[in-house]
Amino acid sequence: MFHNLAALLRYRGLIQTLVTRDLKARYRGSVLGFFWSFINPLLLLLIYSFVFTTVLPGIHPPEMEPYALFMFCGILPWTWFSSSLLESSGTLIAGGNLIKKVLFPAEVLPIVTVLANMVHFFLGLPILALFLIYYQRPLDPIELLWFPFIVLVQLVLTTGLALLVSALTVHFRDIKDLLGNLLTLWFFATPIIYPMQQAPENMRWALNLNPMAHLMISYQEVLFYVGPHGHWRWLLTLAGMAIVVFLGGYFVFDRLRDSFAEEV
């Protein structure tokens, strides 16, 4: 397993090329092309702000203004997470030709999915930055240093889960359908459109078990809340867990690897 893991480094060039291909191919043929990477999160934000400031205005505490910005801090990384998992569930089957006909390291496929979605996440960041400037949020540059670390933790965690999901979906195709609903549930079980403090006391323990909750809170701490990053202990624990999830995901993937060529 560790031998294969090391071999992954050799595929840097391949991964890079495939990510580029993915990004190029995604918007090929659409009028707005690459702009969709900016427009998509923007539209999503508009929808949520409409719902939570116009339709349900009183639902959030008044000190949480601007609420749209708060939600955006979570929605952006969540989109990266959820579309990575959804896409990786089909990626091995879609790339069946490669696995069956070419000597091709299969783990590259889910990794490329996660990375391509990460690029989309990065492309959404300028929009977030514009909003931060627009609302004149005070940002602590020291606190911002945490940001790359949070992204890294999310990357490791998401990749681990993507490897697991992609490998299992080859054997159980229903995961694809199940996953969509599971992710919706997961979305609402994560403090993204509501702050953690608003969750009922007796539910906190359950939310604390959710790794994504701590990631999102970390993003919110760094980008939205004023004051020092108070969530770093949770984040470090999560970093350790992310590595475990990654190794676990890779282990399962590696065990099932030989069956891919026959099953996809």
Partner 1 sequence: MKPAIDVVNISKVYRRFTRQKQFATLKSALLKGSLVRDLQPDETFPALRGVSFQVPKGCTYGVIGRNGSGKSTLLKCVAGISRPNSGTITVDGRISALIELGAGFHPEISGRENIFINGIMLGLTKKEVMRRFDEIVEFAEMQDFIDAPVKTYSSGMYMRLGFAVAIHVDPEVLLIDEVLAVGDQGFTLKCLDKFAEFRRRNRTILLVTHSLDLVEKFCDQALWLDKGQTKAEGEPKRVVASYIIDVEKTEEVELSKAESARLAATASGAPAAADARPSDPAAAGDAPTDMFKATEGRWGTRELEITGVTLLGADGQPGHVFQYGEAVRVQMNVRAHHALKDFVFGFGIFNADGVCCYGTNTNLEELKPDEISGEGVVTFEIDSLKLVEGTYRLDLAAHKLDGYPYDYHRLLYSFRVKSRTKDVGIYRPDHRWTFSPGIRFKTGPASATD
Interacting residues toward partner 1 by CB under 8 A: 13-14, 17-18, 21, 24-25, 28-29, 95, 97-104, 171-175, 178, 258-259, 261-262
Give the closest residue to 215 by CA, choosing from 61, 81, 26, 43. 81
Phi/psi at 124 (5° precision): -80, -20
Smaller CB separation from partner 1, 18 or 76: 18
Look up residue 222 and give its two tokens: 């760094």
Q: Nearest distance from residue 102's CB to partner 1, in Å?
A: 5
Smaller CB separation from partner 1, 86 or 222: 86
**Whether the Cβ atoms of residue 26 and residue 117 lie closer than 8 Å to each other:** no
Q: Nearest distance from residue 257's CB to partner 1, in Å?
A: 9
Look up residue 16 and give its two tokens: 């890079």
Smaller CB separation from partner 1, 102 or 142: 102
* Residue the block writes with tokens 């949770």: 234
Smaller CB separation from partner 1, 189 or 252: 252
Look up residue 193 and give its two tokens: 């459109």
Q: Nearest distance from residue 217's CB to partner 1, in Å?
A: 32
**Whether the Cβ atoms of residue 240 and residue 179 lie closer than 8 Å to each other:** no
- How far from 239 is each of 8, 52, 209, CA to CA, in Å? 21, 32, 14
Q: Nearest distance from residue 99's CB to partner 1, in Å?
A: 8
Look up residue 264 and give its two tokens: 């996809």
Cα–Cα distance, 9 to 139 (Å, whole number)? 36
Q: Nearest distance from residue 256's CB to partner 1, in Å?
A: 8
Look up residue 223 and give its two tokens: 């980008």
DSSP 202-246: HHHHHHHT-HHHHHHHHHHHHHTSSS--TTHHHHHHHHHHHHHHH
Q: Nearest distance from residue 259's CB to partner 1, in Å?
A: 8
Smaller CB separation from partner 1, 154 or 169: 169
Smaller CB separation from partner 1, 65 or 177: 177
Smaller CB separation from partner 1, 29 or 141: 29
Q: Nearest distance from residue 21's CB to partner 1, in Å?
A: 5
* Residue the block writes with tokens 């790339």: 95
